Structure 1
Amino acid sequence: MADLNGEALVTKERYRDAMACVPAAVNVVTTDGRAGRAGFTATAVCSVTDEPPTLLVCVRRDSSVGEAFRANGVLCVNTLAPEHQGLSGLFGGKTPAEERFAAAEWSTGGTGSPVLEGALASFDCRVVSAVDVGTHAVLFCEVVSVGGGAPTEGLVYVGRRYDSVCACAS
């Protein structure tokens, strides 16, 4: 976006610096299906509506896992607790998929997506639509089942570092 003189109102760097001030839950998003098993770390996840239960997940279109999520059409958002910080790093880097999944215990959700054992919350979903916006695909996902462990602390990312917050019981 530019002002009337054609100058940028918001630079990429300024936008990223401001967003770093916004705490966000840390999630490992997983999928499995005909395009294979894949996963990535995401903070760009949020609720859209509770009728039907729907959330959105943003994934870089040029990432090594982006196509698997679109092709499989299913995913599980696994919300992390502080003890999962290392797992977040594995799923956020260039670690091969086999090593990522070997670092934790997983079950299989109704959609076939991997569900993290001990996750603060897990949202097993069907992708119902996708919209490309800039560098990312925004996946709108209908939640088909929800799981979670005992109330604990949640893992958040803020100020370009991890922190924890008290999580409430449902």
Structure 2
Amino acid sequence: MIGYDEFRRGMRRLAAGVSIISTQSTAGPLGITATAVTSLTPDPPSVLCCVNKNLVAGNAIRQNRSFCLNLLRQQHHSLARRFAGMDGVSGTAKFDEGAWVTLASGTPALADSLVSFDCQLDRVVEAGTHHVLIGVIHEIRLGELGNPLVYCGGNFTSLLPH
């Protein structure tokens, strides 16, 4: 059987784009850094996000049934660390940095992201330690083109052109 640590070491070699999943709670905005996100289907336009079951932000998403998937650019590495809990900031205080706007749905979106997808939660699937969240996209906010932030080998990095 493959152990927890062995799995994590192997998956660290998978390069992934970095996002902040944001939502609104009764206490205010909440968010987490995520790499386990992907497009799901164009009809209806949907995304898939994997969120640890123990995270308060994940509970808030399941309660209010909405979230925003914000794709980060390389300049957002400090925000990625902040929302991952790497600098000791938690809860709504994470939103004290960054340019945040409130969408019509009430969900916070990063104003200078590569793109923000405002989603209505369609369904939740339990999978081990995580919930797989499927969101139907109701609004897309395209930002300026730029170099995406990537996570690989335990580090935030960016793409290099060939």
TM-score (norm 2): 0.91
Identify the residue that residue 17 of structure 1 maps to in structure 2.
Answer: 9
1:30 aligns with 2:35: no
Alignment of 1:123-134 (within 5 A): 123-134=117-128
Identify the residue that residue 66 of structure 1 maps to in structure 2.
Answer: 58
Moved over 6 A (4+): none
Q: Name the aligned partner's letter for residue 130 of structure 1.
A: V
**Alpha-carbon displacement from aligned partner over 1:69-122 (angstroms, at most 9, x marks no partner):** 110110000010111111111111051333211101111123211010110111
Identify the residue that residue 143 of structure 1 maps to in structure 2.
Answer: 137
In 2, Cα distance between equivalents of 1:111 and 1:57: 19
The match for 2:147 among 140, 144, 153 is 153
TM-score (norm 1): 0.87
| Structure 2: stretches of 5+ with no match in the other structure | none
Query: Following TM superposition, by how much is the alpha carbon of 1:15 offset from its aligned partner in structure 2, in angstroms?
Result: 1.6
Secondary structure, in 3 states, of the residue corresponding to 1:57?
A: strand
In 1, Cα distance between equivalents of 2:59 and 2:7: 27
The match for 2:96 among 98, 102, 118 is 102
1:82 aligns with 2:89: no
- Size of the aligned set, in residue pairs, is 159
| Structure 1: stretches of 5+ with no match in the other structure | 1-7
User: What root-mean-square deviation, in Å, do the aligned CA atoms of Structure 1 and Structure 2 show?
Assistant: 1.6
Query: Following TM superposition, by how much is the alpha carbon of 1:127 offset from its aligned partner in structure 2, in angstroms?
Result: 0.3
Secondary structure, in 3 states, of the residue corresponding to 2:56?
A: coil
Change (3 A) 1:98 1:62: closer
In 2, Cα distance between equivalents of 1:79 and 1:41: 10
Work out whether residues 23 and 57 of structure 2, in 8 Å CA contact, stay in contact via their aligned partners in 1: no
Identify the residue that residue 43 of structure 1 maps to in structure 2.
Answer: 35
Query: Following TM superposition, by how much is the alpha carbon of 1:12 offset from its aligned partner in structure 2, in angstroms?
Result: 1.8
Q: Name the aligned partner's letter for residue 23 of structure 1.
A: A
